[in-house]
Amino acid sequence: MDENLISRMIEEINGLNKQETKIMEVCGTHTYAIGKYGIRSLLNPETQLLSGPGCPVCVTSESTIDAAIKILENDNVILTTFGDLVRVRGAYESILDQRIKSKTVKILYTPFEALEIAQNNKDKLVVFLAVGFETTAPVIASAIQLAQKKNILNIYFLCSLKLMPPVLKFILDQNRQHIHGMICPGHVAAVMGEEYFQFIEQEYDIPAVIAGFEAMDIIGAIYTVVQSRNNPGTKKFENLYRRSVRIHGNRIAKETMNEVFEVSSAEWRGIGYIQDSALTMKASYAQFDALKRFNIQLLPQPNRSQCMCKEILLGIKKPTACNMFGTGCIPEHPLGPCMISSEGACASYYRY
């Protein structure tokens, strides 16, 4: 890390930016890194960083958690998933509550471990609760393909896979004057390509920067947005993560994802129903769809949270504006999903 270069760039940002500039870091990993490196504290008050909806655990709907709990009513089920997700509440309970009640829940690092569990427990029905964005989707798709290839007939996937552009369009359509620039997730762009986020500049005429996750990456992105905002006529879209992101992305990953999934509409926790914002399994892979196997429909749920999760996920409010932040809602006793995941805005603000 070049501390002298970072210091000079911060000085230039603060010297150049004399008007209110609200920049949304879309990705939860960026939110975490911004907190870890103390970047907010280095910027002048005019430059404000707002967290976006890029934490997959935070936007997983209550109905998806409820579906997983419903599946666990079957005694011969092994539910597998990623760690943060077990603490997220559905309408009334979390998956962790079910684990305490002696239901079989296993925390995994990859979906391929679920395949191994299914092969070793052929008398059980193994369900993998899969959440994520375009970054995770190709890995989930690959696991489903492998299950079909190996004829593993006791594995099912409960998928809550979301797409970035529809929710960003939702935010920008609602708040055209509210956000002045966006820092786009480098890992999503590494899969989908640089072109995936160009619509932000083309359709909304605001700066957008694809960035990595080191301090220099993020400060470079902020510098680029501020420079563009204060110098009309300068380029408004930049890929600063060229070491990982190509124009068209990762062809094999995209082909794998498109082979297994099709675009559908879905509910985002705290935000609502967004058209064409999710991925569901194609008919050719329906035998692995947990919703079909257990005959469950995902029904929209009213937002029961006492927290300001919606406003935080949409970049309208900062976590510190919520009355529950740091009092009734802390990582040990979270009231909302934004405090549960390490990539959630509330958890990041609280920790740092």
Please write the tens of the pLDDT for every residue from 218-227. Answer: 999 999 999 9
- Topology of domain 58-163+249-293 in CATH is Rossmann fold (3.40.50)
pLDDT value, residue 299: 79
Least confident of 138-142, 300-304, 325-329: 300-304
With 0-12 CB in 10 A as exposed, 13-18 as middle and 19+ as buried, what is 203? exposed
- Per-residue confidence at 303, pLDDT binned at 50, 70, 90? low
pLDDT value, residue 1: 66
- Per-residue confidence at 302, pLDDT binned at 50, 70, 90? low
Torsional sign, CA 93, 316, 83, 275: positive
CB atoms within 10 A of CB 170: 18
234 has a pLDDT exceeding 90 = no
84 has a pLDDT exceeding 90 = no
Average pLDDT, the chain: 93
Q: Could you report the per-residue pLDDT of 93-111, keeping only the tens digit for each?
A: 999 999 989 999 999 999 9
CATH code of 3-54+172-239, in short, is 3.40.50.11750
Q: Could you report the per-residue pLDDT of 238-294, keeping only the tens digit for each?
A: 999 999 999 999 999 999 999 999 999 999 988 889 999 999 999 999 999 999 999
228 has a pLDDT exceeding 70 = yes
How far is residue 352's CA from residue 349's CA, in Å, rounded to a whole number?
5
Q: In what order do the strands lie in the sheet with 155-162?
A: 105-107, 77-81, 125-132, 155-162, 272-281, 261-268
Query: H/E element holding 273?
Result: strand 272-281
What letter does residue 179 receive in the DSSP assignment? -
Locate the domains of the chain by residue range. 3-54+172-239, 58-163+249-293, 309-351
pLDDT value, residue 141: 98
- Per-residue confidence at 148, pLDDT binned at 50, 70, 90? very high
Considering the entire predicted model, what is its pTM?
0.92
How far is residue 86's CA from residue 239's CA, in Å, rounded to a whole number?
35
Question: Mean pLDDT, to the nearest integer, of 8-24?
Answer: 92
306 has a pLDDT exceeding 90 = no
Residue whose structure tokens are 């052929």:
122
Quick check: do 3-54+172-239 and 58-163+249-293 share a fold?
Answer: yes
pLDDT value, residue 305: 67
